[in-house]
């Protein structure tokens, strides 16, 4: 089930959403900082995390699924956000240097096709970072936040999916150890939860943040294309009688 744009925007205005933005944003700092002079795409609902790249990247775009909806971004500037089909990006081959995926992999109907399409749009050696709910985390068990929607992933599932779609995982971070409760008292201790969870490598982080690189050499693989355009005839109504099958004139 995909979360609509209104619910996503509302979540990030809550204290719990602000905590999520802060700690996931910290996990993305290096990826965004290293985008200097590059073309960066945010896919899904990545705008809460894209602002730091505006001062570094050569170009920053945001594409959002039609079922989700789109909002103006960045606030106060020229709009750089648009609707698009994530499985058919309106971009030529090798048009991007970096892609950030958030609030999308867990709700897409065909995750492999999504990653193949991202592979197509990335230049050789381009980098992909995915923010996805952790299957073992508390956030995936709470449907009151966007991270509790769709299909969460384990670390091994994400690795398998990336390797199958011609990406090599290189960097891995878990974050959001604080329980997803909208309690200001609890949220004040979020920093402690993060420090303890990170140092001990606890398994119940809310999300995985994984960075992968596009493989330069594609293995020879026979794969049935999943993206098919089917044309169905539209029959115009007619007043003439139609003979039943098998009837003789």
Residue 150 maps to which CATH number? 3.40.50.150
Q: Where are the beta strands (DSSP E) in 103-206?
A: 122-133, 167-175
Residue 128 is assigned to a structural domain of this protein: yes
Which tens digits make up the pLDDT trace of 152-170? 999 999 999 999 999 999 9
What are the C-alpha distances in Å from 76 to residues 13, 133, 192, 204?
17, 30, 35, 37
How many CA within 13 A on the CB side of residue 166?
Answer: 23
Give Cβ neighbours of residue 46 (< 8 Å, ≥ 6 apart).
Answer: 62, 100, 101, 102, 103, 131
What are the phi and psi torsion angles at 236 (to 5°)? -80, 140
Separation of alpha carbons 32 and 198, rounded Å? 21
Per the model's pLDDT, the better-predicted residue between 226 and 186 turns out to be 186
Query: Closest Cα partner for 8 from 42, 34, 39, 37?
Result: 42
CA-CA-CA-CA torsion sign (142, 148, 150, 152): negative
What phi-psi label fits residue 225: left (phi over 0), alpha (psi between -120 and 50 degrees) or beta? beta
Confidence of residue 221 (pLDDT cuts 50, 70, 90): low
**By the 8 A CB rule, do 207 and 131 touch?**
yes
Assess if residue 248 is contained within a domain. Answer: no
Question: Which domain covers residue 71, as residue numbers?
Answer: 5-214
- The CA-atom distances, in angstroms, between 81 and each of 1, 25, 46, 76, 167 are 22, 19, 10, 13, 26
d(CA 127, CA 230): 33
The more confident residue out of 5 and 236 is 5
Average pLDDT of the chain? 89
Average pLDDT of span 108-115: 96
**Number of domains comprising the chain:** 1
Q: Given pLDDT bands bounded at 50, 70 and 90, which one contains residue 233?
A: very low
Cα 2 to chain centroid distance, Å, stands at 11
Q: What pLDDT is stored for residue 2 in this prediction?
A: 77
Position 151 confidence tier, pLDDT thresholds 50, 70, 90: very high
With respect to residue 10, please indicate whether it lies within any of the assigned structural domains. yes
Residue 246 placed within a domain: no
- 134 within 8 A of 174, measured Cβ to Cβ: yes
Q: Please check whether residue 236 lies inside any domain of the structure.
A: no
In this predicted structure, what is the pLDDT of residue 231? Answer: 41
7-51 confidence digits (pLDDT tens): 999 999 999 999 999 999 999 999 998 898 999 999 999 999 999
- Residue 146: CB partners within 8 Å, gap ≥ 6? 3, 7, 8, 11, 45, 103
Q: Which helix (H) or strand (E) holds 64?
A: strand 59-64
Determine, yes or no, domain membership for 231.
Answer: no
**Mean pLDDT computed over 2-9:** 92
177 part of a folded domain: yes
Q: Is the pLDDT of residue 66 over 80?
A: yes
Give domain status of residue 121, yes or no.
yes
């Amino acid at each position: 089930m995909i979360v609509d744009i209104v619910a996503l925007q509302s979540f990030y205005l809550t204290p719990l959403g602000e905590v999520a933005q802060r700690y996931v944003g910290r996990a993305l700092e290096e990826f965004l900082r290293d985008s200097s002079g590059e073309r960066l795409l945010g896919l899904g609902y990545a705008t809460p995390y894209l602002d730091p790249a505006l001062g570094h990247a050569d170009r920053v775009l945001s594409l959002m699924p039609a079922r989700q909806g789109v909002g103006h971004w960045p606030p106060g500037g020229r709009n750089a956000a648009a609707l698009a089909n994530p499985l058919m990006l309106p971009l030529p081959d090798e048009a991007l240097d970096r892609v950030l995926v958030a609030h999308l992999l867990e709700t897409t109907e065909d995750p492999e096709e999504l990653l193949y399409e991202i592979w197509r749009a990335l230049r050789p050696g381009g980098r992909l970072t995915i923010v996805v709910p952790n299957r073992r985390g508390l956030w995936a068990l709470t449907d009151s936040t966007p991270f509790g929607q769709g299909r969460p992933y384990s670390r091994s599932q994400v690795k398998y999916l990336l390797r199958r779609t011609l990406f090599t995982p290189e960097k891995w971070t878990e974050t959001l150890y604080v329980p997803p409760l909208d309690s200001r008292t609890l949220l004040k201790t979020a920093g402690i939860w993060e420090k303890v969870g990170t140092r001990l490598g606890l398994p119940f982080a809310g999300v995985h943040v994984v960075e992968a690189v596009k493989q330069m050499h594609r293995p020879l693989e026979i794969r049935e294309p999943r993206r098919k355009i089917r044309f169905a005839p539209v029959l115009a109504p007619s007043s003439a009688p139609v003979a039943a099958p098998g009837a003789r004139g």
